[in-house]
């Protein structure tokens, strides 16, 4: 498959112009090769992931996290400082896309929720591509979506139920509940590092917020229940979405990667 066709499919879903101005998206490294037979999907294009891709004869790496810095001694570059493999990243544009990282986290949450035969929540963010617990891979041409998406239950749900579901997504779950809240009705979600949006979620009437990378003082001050499920755990779910976007015509493999934290 032509690599520019692959990129076109990704950018039709998550337009590159919707990425944050500080973000590094698109080609992190680009070779002269055009035809792609094998792609490695990963969350983060570390040197270890690059080694894996080269060892498995991949032609391209597609990642969610960008490569902010390329070490000249990296496996990525040859002695002539030319890249050995294409690396393409879709970061904040994928976070903002309908059906992107946060919607995928919500879908996973809802799927587990329904398997436990709990009443289904109602989606209150009309911008979300989630409807009746299904995920539509449609992306968006304009930047209208927000980083935070919400679900709301018809009735209050015990916090223990929410906790148990999130533990199935992330065994490394931790959370704060400074106000000893026992039941919640509206939950805000932001995959990745979203603790900066806690105040926004509170303003929107959320009782609870789910994200990763929660800092100590932010946790200390929070009036909401805030779940930190881990940055890695909240975003690794996006890789099958990349695979669906790319479609047939190329072999897909997944990098062997995990959270850097030991618990």
Query: Model confidence over 233-247: pLDDT tens digits?
Result: 999 999 999 999 999
Both tokens assigned to 163: 């906790």
Pairing of strands 86-89, 26-29: antiparallel
Give Cα 175 distance to the centre of its chain: 19
Token pair 């990525």 is found at 76
How large a percentage of the chain has pLDDT more than 70? 84
> Lowest mean pLDDT: which of 95-104, 139-148, 232-241, 244-253?
139-148
* Structural domains of the chain, with CATH: 3-94+238-254 (3.40.1390.30), 96-234 (3.40.1390.30)
**Gap between the Cα atoms of 111 and 232, Å rounded:** 20
What is the arithmetic mean of pLDDT over 162-168?
Answer: 95
pLDDT at 263: 76
Asked if 64 and 89 touch (Cβ cutoff 8 Å), the reply is yes
**Gap between the Cα atoms of 142 and 128, Å rounded:** 14
HEC assignment per residue over the chain: CEHHHHHHHHHHHCCHHHCCCCCCCEEEECCCCCECCEEEEECCCCHHHHHHHHHCCCCEEEECCCCCCCCCCCCCECCCCCECCEEEECCHHHHHCCCCHHHHHHHHHHHHHHHCCCCCCEECCCCCCEECCEECCCCCCCCCCCCCEEEEEEEEEEHHHHHHHHHHHCCCCEEECCCCCCEEEEEEEEEEECHHHHHHHHHCCCCEEEEECCCHHHHHHCCCEEEECCHHHHHHHHHHHHHHHHCCCCEEEECCCCCCCCC
pLDDT at 144: 47
pLDDT at 19: 93
pLDDT at 181: 96
Asked if 105 and 192 touch (Cβ cutoff 8 Å), the reply is no
Give phi and psi for 164, each to the nearest 5.
-65, -40
Residue 154 has pLDDT above 80, yes or no: yes
**Gap between the Cα atoms of 231 and 242, Å rounded:** 18
Burial of residue 263 (CB within 10 Å: 0-12, 13-18, 19+) is: exposed
Best CA proximity match to 245, nearest among 11, 4, 1, 2: 11
What is the arithmetic mean of pLDDT over 187-213?
Answer: 94
Tens-place pLDDT, residues 169-182: 999 999 999 999 99
Split at pLDDT 50, 70, 90, the class of 165 is: very high
What is the arithmetic mean of pLDDT over 48-54?
Answer: 94
């Amino acid at each position: 498959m032509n690599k520019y066709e692959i990129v076109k499919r990704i950018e039709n879903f998550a337009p590159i112009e919707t990425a944050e101005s500080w973000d590094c998206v698109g080609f992190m490294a680009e070779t002269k090769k055009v035809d792609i037979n094998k792609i490695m999907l990963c969350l983060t294009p570390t040197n270890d992931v690059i080694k894996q891709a080269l060892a498995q004869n991949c032609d391209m790496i597609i990642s969610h996290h960008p490569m902010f810095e390329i070490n000249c001694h990296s496996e990525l570059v040859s002695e002539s400082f030319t890249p050995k493999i294409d690396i393409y990243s879709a970061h904040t544009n994928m976070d903002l896309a309908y059906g992107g990282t946060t919607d995928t986290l919500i879908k996973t949450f809802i799927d587990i929720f329904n398997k436990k035969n709990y009443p289904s929540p109602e989606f209150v963010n009309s911008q979300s591509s989630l409807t009746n617990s299904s995920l539509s891979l449609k992306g968006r041409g304009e930047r209208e979506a927000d980083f935070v998406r919400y679900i709301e239950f018809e009735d209050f749900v015990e916090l223990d139920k929410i906790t148990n579901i999130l533990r199935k997504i992330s065994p490394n779950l931790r959370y704060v509940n400074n106000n000893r809240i026992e039941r919640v009705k509206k939950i805000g979600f932001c995959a990745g590092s979203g603790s900066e949006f806690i105040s926004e979620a509170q303003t929107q009437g959320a009782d609870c917020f789910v994200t990763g990378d929660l800092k100590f003082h932010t946790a200390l001050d929070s009036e909401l229940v805030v779940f930190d499920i881990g940055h890695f755990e909240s975003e690794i779910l996006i890789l099958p979405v990349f695979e669906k976007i790319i479609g047939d015509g190329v072999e897909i493999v997944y990098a062997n990667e995990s959270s850097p934290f030991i618990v």
